[in-house]
Structure 1
């Protein structure tokens, strides 16, 4: 069985959670060493989609509905990792459909909204993968997707984050006391400035890891105007310094306007570090309140209180790690491989039916 992995063309021009998810998923699938399973990135300039038995599309947005459309037209079954915000409630879906209908009428149906494109991708895909119950609810409620074709599979965590230690980070930065870490693209959406303002009255260094696009360079300079902010730039996901930073931090903060299922949070917890993050996320861990606080992204007072509380009364690192000890890429890969096999069987059965007719 030959499986092709696809997403939008600019995916690997940047680094972030989706890039890590795609690479880690592929690596883990290959490590399963299933003889009948061949997984590869599709080169759409040189390979036809119908040369694959199954297509796996990552992200339902960024125009990826066209990939799902084409694969469907060619008779290739599609698994779609939706990666949608849990903010897509029934009410949000209704508003989007009304706006889509109005746009269509005003333009003679020559213009599509991104909502309509996302909905089409979800409807055409034979199987939709959600990262958690909150994203599953958004897919069903916001986009009226058949819940029967949704599989809920979380992301995994590399083993190196569970065994990381703080020494490499301390040697590299000289920071040997409490500090707050934030990992992610530097941008107003990620909301680093709110973190700096929330902690402006506290003697807590803030370490930022991530790159800023050209349009956000002024935002970065505003952050660096604070003497408490230390910027390490972009680190490769495999860089030992990244894992060490998680282990050295007192708290990981992620007050962004929205996240789907943030890998940085899972990685910080694997290192034993508590997290304060936005509540606009599909991430949900039972009995995790002692190490994970999820707040409104614009509530700087609550952000400050939660961070200071974790610094003053840190949870036991072993107990924090235990929250995510089952989140392995190997386990995820085995479940995804089962999804591929199910789709392949369906595709073969459908072809047999067509031949019989």
Structure 2
């Protein structure tokens, strides 16, 4: 018998922002592909209460997102009022107010069996209001920053604890995150570890020399064919620690180059940092890299350096390993659940000196790409969906 899931996620791809929350999309698609769950996603889009004509430029793509998309997973994009920098503690209520009429209408047309939230905040407390209104069980997933950042905000934590008390299941992307949740007095007996997935057909090992030639042949990307290549992938925001990767580069031999794939508000500051350190010729800002180009880029790198301040268990870690690229990451989230052998990479403190030392050790003792890729063998979106379906069937 097919069951129906209503999933609430503030992070989800849409026209104009195709890479925004792609990992949530892949999870939902994989669950729907099993055939025993029909999935409907509500992706609330936050916009300031201003006429379109005077919206700040960065909100223009959001204003253009269609209200609904159809496919294997039906997706709705209702708008909610967002006050940037001000409405954080009220966002669960603002989201629920925008979502609840739509959820009631969809439930009346074809009843749901379960409501879930794809992030603990603001999605979790908002989904709790929806589940309570519809009289349905509730599951909430934690992914990292939703626990580590919002868990330090008293008003948000109070809402998270209330939602967790109502929930029938809580999910964490790593064992380390599950322990952090329990430390916040979220009910430990409800928490299940639910690891991320991986597109195994896309992320595969490509021999490094061939990968560099392939990537360099693409317009706008010029990678060195000689020397060592480091790669950093992610949004250019302070929490990702890209500045630390640039500073570490300055402690490495001149033959080492750093490519940075991603866009964000920090780009100008990072470019200025590279220039000030005399590293402009060794730092390649690639901008946003399409998902279709990412596997070859990962395979081209000798190591991926991601000195994030916080993560749960980053998809980027697993994607790099699947392409045979070892990682240099801090001891955060599920890092030790991933870097469990020398071939996988190194865990380093978030200092330029420690990052540089870890990179130098890897470059001096490079693991075979096949040995690195073996560490990602247990991850797939099919396994992710099977585990999720098992948790959800148990509470419905």
Q: Give 1:288's match in structure 2, choosing from 324, 341, 348.
A: 341
Does the alignment pair 1:146 with 2:187?
Answer: yes
Alpha-carbon offset, residue 163 of structure 1: 4.1
- What is the alpha-carbon distance in structure 2 between the residues aligned to residue 199 and residue 261 of structure 1? 25
CA shift in 2, pair 1:285/1:189, >3 Å: closer
Closer, same or farther in 2 for the Cα pair 1:40/1:236, shift >3 Å? farther
Alignment of 1:49-60 (within 5 A): 50=107, 51-60=111-120
Task: Tell me what 1:169 maps to.
Answer: 215
Shift of 1:10: 7.8
Q: Confirm or deny: 8 A CA contact 2:12 2:22 kept in the other structure.
A: no
Q: State the 1:186 CA deviation.
A: 0.8
Correspondence 1:111-130 to 2 at 5 A = 113-130=155-172
Is the deviation greater in 126-135 or in 217-226? 217-226
Deviation at 1:174, TM superposition (A): 4.2
Question: Gapped runs of 5+ residues in structure 1?
Answer: 101-112, 345-357
Aligned partner of residue 162 in structure 1, secondary structure? coil
SS in 2 for 1:290: helix
Q: Is the CA contact 1:169–1:244 (under 8 Å) kept in the aligned structure 2?
A: yes
Residues 174, 333 of structure 2: 8 Å contact kept: no
Partner of 1:46: 102
Residue in structure 1 matched with residue 281 of structure 2 by the alignment: 227
> 1:315: which partner in 2?
367
The alignment's TM-score, normalised by the length of structure 2, stands at: 0.73
Contact 1:86 1:138 in 2 (8 A): no
* 1:30 counterpart (3, 23, 32): 32
Counterpart residue number, 1:108: none
| Corresponding position of 1:254 | 306
Give the CA deviation at 1:296.
2.3
Q: SS state of the match for residue 2, structure 1?
A: strand
Q: How many residues align?
A: 317
SS at match of 1:157: coil
Q: Distance in 2 between matches of 1:27 and 1:63?
A: 19
Q: Which residue of 2 aligns with 1:3?
A: 5
Of the two structures, which has the highest relative contact order with CA contacts closer than 8 Å and spacing of 6 or more? 1
Aligned to 2:198: 157
Whether the 8 Å CA contact 1:59–1:82 is kept in 2: the answer is yes
Distance 2:264 2:381 in 1: 29
The alpha-carbon deviation at position 71 of structure 1 amounts to 1.1
Give unpaired runs (5+ residues) of structure 2: 43-75, 77-98
How far apart in 1 are the matches of 2:12 and 2:37?
27
Cα shift readout 1:75-97 (whole Å, capped 9, x = no counterpart)? 11111111235986xxx97xx5x
